[in-house]
Amino acid sequence: MITPKIVVGGTVAIDNVITPIEKRENLLGGSAAYAAISASIFSKKAQLVGIIGEDFPKEYLELFESKSISVEGLEVSDQKTFTWTGKYLDNMNDRETLDVAINVLENWSVNVPEAMQESELVVLANMAPANQLQLLSQMKASKRYVIADTMDLWIDIAKEELEEVFTKIDLLVLNDSEAKQYTGAYSSVKAGELLLEKGLNAVIIKHGEFGSTLFYTQGNGSVQLFKCPAWPLSELVDPTGAGDSFLGGLAGTLAKMGKVHPTLTDLKEGMVNGTLAASFTCESFSTESLQEVSFEQIKQRREEFWALCQWNA
């Protein structure tokens, strides 16, 4: 068994988050930050690829290092770090973006350090599809597995590049509303089926508090679904990064199992762990809970999760 290395490309950001209860500033954020920390619960082979500014807090770099996350591929620009300011509405599900300062991302051209180019697991966390394509073009492992996430913005303004991404990946992960927006379907089941028809082998549609659904094309061409519920959270502190944590937990689990060509069972395993990692993310601001979670805690919550999903055939 090999222990695959993971490259996690995406944004590394400073977030300012307002919830109905609290306002917090200068938080660690960004798709790749969440995904890499989540992956590190399962695998010590995660490597960040992204760009930060000189203003990026040193403590966050130390946090990555404490999690054995390589920051060699984290370029430091003389501009400011990408910053997102958002506000959650009373229902904690809808949010408004109050401000986005693109900063370092403006003219970023992704550069994957040579030592990372042979990594077998490639996570294209949410970022511009052009950046996802740049990253992917530098990856050289003959056996590799590529997972990509995206967001509504790119479906709106970069659909063509996004479609090129879709032709080069093994697994697409996206939100319910994004899947419907992209395909024009009104049901997420139809949206998943239409995405597979685009040539994707596997698609995961995330339903927020209702879990996620995998659409997986089996060897014989038939499609098998897997419905993964969400961990029931009574109180949500800050859902920012939950989807990225899901993605990272999934990839970290594949790495831990040594799976570069995951089966349906392997992907289920990854989804369950990703779901649990995401549940910790929602329990506090930023990565504050996620970064404290041990694999043992995931295993413990997993036992309870198992109990609340079971029924007799």
| Positions in the binding site for a copy of itself (CB under 8 A) | 90-93, 186-190, 193, 207, 209-211, 213, 224-229, 232-236, 265, 268-269, 271-272, 302-303, 306-313
CB of 162 to a copy of itself, least distance (A): 23
Distance CA 265, CA 219 (A): 13
CB of 27 to a copy of itself, least distance (A): 22
What's the longest Cα–Cα distance across the chain? 60
Distance CA 274, CA 60 (A): 22
CB of 180 to a copy of itself, least distance (A): 8
Q: Which is nearer to a copy of itself, 37 or 179 (CB)?
A: 179
Classify residue 81 as left (phi > 0), alpha (psi -120 to 50) or beta: beta
For residue 312, the SS3 value is coil
Backbone angles phi, psi at 148, to 5 degrees: -125, 145
Q: Which residues of 139-156 are buried (b: 16+ CB within 10 A; e: fewer)?
A: bebeebbbbbbbbeebbe
CA 309 to each of CA 210, 272, 302: distance values in angstroms, whole numbers, following the listed order: 13, 11, 10
CB of 44 to a copy of itself, least distance (A): 24
Q: Which is nearer to a copy of itself, 78 or 90 (CB)?
A: 90
Q: Which is nearer to a copy of itself, 144 or 180 (CB)?
A: 180
CB of 261 to a copy of itself, least distance (A): 18
Classify residue 45 as left (phi > 0), alpha (psi -120 to 50) or beta: alpha
Q: Which residues share a beta bridge with 213?
A: 205, 227
Q: Which is nearer to a copy of itself, 159 or 227 (CB)?
A: 227
Q: Which is nearer to a copy of itself, 234 or 294 (CB)?
A: 234
CB of 102 to a copy of itself, least distance (A): 31
Q: Which is nearer to a copy of itself, 129 or 274 (CB)?
A: 274
CB of 269 to a copy of itself, least distance (A): 7
- Kindly tell me the burial class for residue 106, based on how many C-beta atoms sit within 10 Å of its own C-beta (0-12, 13-18, 19 or more): exposed
Q: Which is nearer to a copy of itself, 160 or 235 (CB)?
A: 235
Edge-to-edge order in the sheet of strand 70-77 = 70-77, 46-53, 6-9, 121-124, 145-149, 171-175, 202-206, 212-217, 223-228
CB of 293 to a copy of itself, least distance (A): 20
Q: Which is nearer to a copy of itself, 199 or 232 (CB)?
A: 232
Neighbours of 266 (CB within 10 A): 17
Alpha helices in 6-151 (DSSP H): 31-40, 58-66, 129-137
